[in-house]
Amino acid sequence: MAYTMPPTPAGPVGSQYCVCKVELSICGQNLLDRDVTSKSDPFCVLFMEVNGKWVELDRTETAVNNLNPAFAKKFVIDYHFEEVQKLKFALFDQDKSSTQLYEHDFLGEFSCTLGTIVSSKKITRSLLLGNGKPAGKGMITIAAQELSDNRVITLSMAGRKLDKKDLFGKSDPFLEFYKPGDDGKWMLVHRTEVIKYTLDPVWKPFTVPLVSLCDGDMEKLIKVVCYDYDSDGGHDFIGEFQTSVARLCEAQDASPLELECINPKKQKKKKNYKNSGIIIVKSCKITRDFSFLDYILGGCQLMFTVGIDFTASNGNPQEPSSLHYINPLGTNEYLSAIWAVGQIIQDYDSDKMFPALGFGAQLPPDWKVSHEFAINFNPRNPFCSGVEGIVQAYSACLPHIRFYGPTNFSPIINHVARFAAQATQQETASQYFILLIITDGVISDMDETRHAVVQASKLPMSIIIVGVGNADFAAMEFLDGDSRVLHSYTGEEAVRDIVQFVPFRNFRNVPKETLAKAVLAELPQQVVQYFKHQNLPPINSEPA
């Protein structure tokens, strides 16, 4: 067995784009029985592919005499949407106390991407032996869960009859919220704004992650301190109290919670001291701040469509100078872009059937120009099976079309937008559409394209544009609203930025994974932004 131990404990493998951590739970069923006098004693080893080699990340405990183990030890992995993270789960029957895997009997293995697991939430697959044959009736079940507390707390606070601290006027009160730190000292979590010249302040509602406020523990004590603001930084202490989030949650819009603000020094000195004012919790709400992975684990499918530029400026595909020329290695910049994006997104679409459309070519038999045609020449069924299917249809159509023009984007954008609009009628976070347009040049229908993008920004849809060749792509940068809001020719603003433009020439001499990271970096955020804007939680979400 070609398994190697890592030279040092393998840390999180990946990049700065890490979205979050995923916990994988492993169960085995009907494992091979390798022991003569008793049943197998299985344990599971997790490997990740790093630079073409399998590196061991972690192992479960050993389940004694058990052919149907449910392992208590979980695997925790950093999840990167924009990378293909290949995993291998190998099961062994423990025979000796050795850490060397070749000392133990092999029970079977299963390989897949992390994307495959999270897009299904739970998968059950057959285990295979080293020769690719089934390991008896052995099966493995892998379940994924996001390891993050995505709850946020929103508090509306006010004060009443706070102590007057300024000689010539009233106080300028603000609140500070603290939680106990690991060192036993109070740690500042949040500071409200200052309300000037009042003893009865009403602060703006604010939202903080529950993990920040109380480490996610509703019963943990937190401290709230009230100060009178001083411009020189020597703020005067008004009073404080300790409470818990569980207690704060007793506040309802109709019945606010009132807590006494106490100054311990005054309390000791004055016998008839009551308090230094009342802090009022007007409302306290805990909600979930859903992440991209929450939506994927909830069952949201990413619907992928490719749009390919077949205009004459690309050059004759028979000539090596053409951007559509397929070189002896079987690739070109169009194919590289399709592979880079498609191999990531295909994990998030259960049927892996992708529409592939072309524009800017004359089509047989009447040689009319089309800006929206199925590259498999089947308009009723433009779907290709997986990324390989798109590549095959692309290669097959090249000899049968005439490159022409102009470079019109709007028909393909509107084509995908029609399907995205249909999906909104379900009123669930079940589908999000991604259009990859690969083009060599300047857009001819800029006004119509701007209008189409602005309309699409209201839909569950993102557009990725990869510019191939060495043309001037200034207009593409204009569509990518990173620096300014895109407007339609009617003056209407885009609701959100949905276009990501990347020039392929910046990625010619770097690993192909780098293109995928650059192209897909903004997509998780765009998915979350759309569904939040529509107030749509993940399909299978739990209440906060």
Average pLDDT, the chain: 91
Q: What is the mean pLDDT of residues 79-100?
A: 92
Q: Is the CB of residue 437 less than 8 Å from the CB of residue 341?
A: no
For the chain, give the percent of residues with pLDDT over 70: 95
Residue 8 has pLDDT above 70, yes or no: no
| pTM for the whole structure | 0.80
Q: Do domains 150-286 and 309-347+370-532 have the same CATH topology?
A: no
- What six digits make up the tokens of 176? 């500070």
Contacts of 524 (CB under 8 A, 6+ apart): 19, 81, 291, 292
State the pLDDT at residue 99. Answer: 84
- What six digits make up the tokens of 187? 């740690």
pLDDT tens per residue, range 183-207: 888 999 999 999 999 999 999 999 9
Residue 287 has pLDDT above 70, yes or no: yes
State the pLDDT at residue 5. Answer: 34
296 C-beta neighbours (distance < 10 Å), count: 28
Q: Helix (H, G, I), strand (E, B), or coil: what is residue 443? A: coil
Least confident of 12-26, 69-83, 274-288, 529-543: 12-26
Residue with token string 């990946």: 14
Nearest one of 305, 328, 323, 303 to 313, comparing CA atoms: 323
Residue 482 has pLDDT above 90, yes or no: no
pLDDT tens per residue, range 486-526: 889 899 999 999 999 999 999 988 887 899 988 898 899 99
Q: Is the torsion defined by CA of 116, 117, 120, 124 positive or negative?
A: positive
State the pLDDT at residue 167. Answer: 67
State the pLDDT at residue 7. Answer: 34
State the pLDDT at residue 398. Answer: 96
**CATH homologous superfamily for 17-145?**
C2 domain (2.60.40.150)
* More confidently predicted of 163 and 2: 163
Residue 2 has pLDDT above 50, yes or no: no
**CATH architecture of the domain formed by 150-286:** Sandwich (2.60)
pLDDT tens per residue, range 317-327: 999 999 999 99
Q: Is the CB of residue 374 less than 8 Å from the CB of residue 323?
A: no
Report residue 406 CA to chain centroid gap. 36
- What six digits make up the tokens of 384? 């290709």
107 C-beta neighbours (distance < 10 Å), count: 25
User: Looking at the chain, how many residues does it have?
Assistant: 544
State the pLDDT at residue 481. Answer: 67
3-state per-residue secondary structure call for 137-168: EEEEEEEEEECCCCEEEEEEEEEECCCCCCCC
Q: What is the mean pLDDT of residues 300-308?
A: 97
Q: What is the mean pLDDT of residues 318-347?
A: 93
Q: Is the CB of residue 143 less than 8 Å from the CB of residue 28?
A: no
249 — pLDDT class (breaks 50, 70, 90): very high
State the pLDDT at residue 472. Answer: 82
DSSP alpha helix (H) spans, 56-145: 114-120
Q: Is the CB of residue 147 less than 8 Å from the CB of residue 21?
A: yes
State the pLDDT at residue 375. Answer: 98
State the pLDDT at residue 17. Answer: 42
15 — pLDDT class (breaks 50, 70, 90): very low
Q: Is the CB of residue 541 less than 8 Å from the CB of residue 291?
A: no
In CATH, the number for domain 309-347+370-532 is: 3.40.50
State the pLDDT at residue 37. Answer: 79
Domain spans of the chain, in order of start:
17-145, 150-286, 309-347+370-532
The residue type at 288: R
